[in-house]
Chain A
Amino acid sequence: DVKVTQSSRYLVKRTGEKVFLECVQDMDHENMFWYRQDPGLGLRLIYFSYDVKMKEKGDIPEGYSVSREKKERFSLILESASTNQTSMYLCASSGTHNEQFFGPGTRLTVL
């Protein structure tokens, strides 16, 4: 059974804190993605990576950075969390057949 896991289901942080969201996939997929999902705005791509140590900006990269040191792990970093980064964060991965699988999501609240 394919699996994408995320480190936390729920997270509460304070404004200005550095936040790490971890994602691990066990499908040996090349491509990994970070999205945020907000009511009325749908899924928006923050960053994606098509190989280890490679990263590409998505539609809304401002205020975020990413790290991909190993093929199976893709981390999203909020350098200095702000209240407008309160959202549902979704990690996904895709392989050669281009099917994209999602993790369970992390609901982040920034106070």
Chain B
Amino acid sequence: QKEVEQDPGPLSVPEGAIVSLNCTYSNSAFQYFMWYRQYSRKGPELLMYTYSSGNKEDGRFTAQVDKSSKYISLFIRDSQPSDSATYLCAMSAGAGNQFYFGTGTSLTVIP
């Protein structure tokens, strides 16, 4: 079983839609959870960072962590064509530990 599972998509939505991206994981030791956005041929850009459970909001982006279900989500409100990218989830047990990544979900927002 992989440490982190992520639906690769592709996901295609109309502009203005709410997008929900999800990852599940198996290791209950994970405490740090991240979402990255990666444009084609570029390095991943850190979008959201959450420690332990709960919600975090930053503009149109909301990250949720449910440690009891081992499930994390990223919501994008009022999606824009510029949000078209691959979104990667990542998680870690803490400093000095490896990071584990999902394989990424490809998102296209259609104008």
A83 to B74, CA, bound (A): 37
A47 to B51, CA, bound (A): 25
Residue ID in chain B nearest A88 by CB atoms: B41
Question: Mind listing 10 A-B residue pairs with CB under 8 Å?
Answer: A31-B95, A42-B102, A42-B103, A45-B98, A98-B95, A99-B46, A102-B43, A102-B45, A105-B41, A105-B42
B88 at the interface (CB under 8 A from A): yes
Q: How large is the interface on A (under 10, 10 to 19, 20 to 34, 35 or more residues)?
A: 20 to 34
- Report the minimal beta-carbon distance from A80 to chain B, rounded to whole angstroms: 26
Q: Do A104 and B43 touch across chains, with their CB atoms under 8 A apart?
A: yes
A76 to B99, CA, bound (A): 18
Report the count of interface residues on B (CB-CB < 8 A).
Answer: 23
Given known pairs A42-B104, A100-B34, A100-B90, the reply for A33 and B99 (CB within 8 Å) is yes
Over the window 44-87 of chain A, the binary record of Cβ atoms lying under 8 Å from chain B Cβ atoms (1 yes, 0 no) is: 01001010000000100000000000000000000000000000
A64 to B19, CA, bound (A): 39
Over the window 87-111 of chain B, the binary record of Cβ atoms lying under 8 Å from chain A Cβ atoms (1 yes, 0 no) is: 0101010111011011110000000
Residue ID in chain B nearest A6 by CB atoms: B43
Residue ID in chain B nearest A103 by CB atoms: B43
Contact of B41 among A33, A40, A48, A107 (CB under 8 A): A107
Main secondary structure of the interface of A (DSSP, over half): strand
A92 to B90, CA, bound (A): 13
Kindly list chain B residues whose C-beta atoms are within 8 Å of the C-beta of A40. Answer: 103
Kindly list chain A residues whose C-beta atoms are within 8 Å of the C-beta of B41. Answer: 88, 105, 107
A40 to B86, CA, bound (A): 12
B44 at the interface (CB under 8 A from A): yes
Q: Do B42 and A101 touch across chains, with their CB atoms under 8 A apart?
A: no
A96 to B32, CA, bound (A): 12
A107 to B92, CA, bound (A): 26
A102 to B45, CA, bound (A): 7
- Report the minimal beta-carbon distance from A17 to chain B, rounded to whole angstroms: 23
A103 to B45, CA, bound (A): 9
Residue ID in chain B nearest A91 by CB atoms: B43
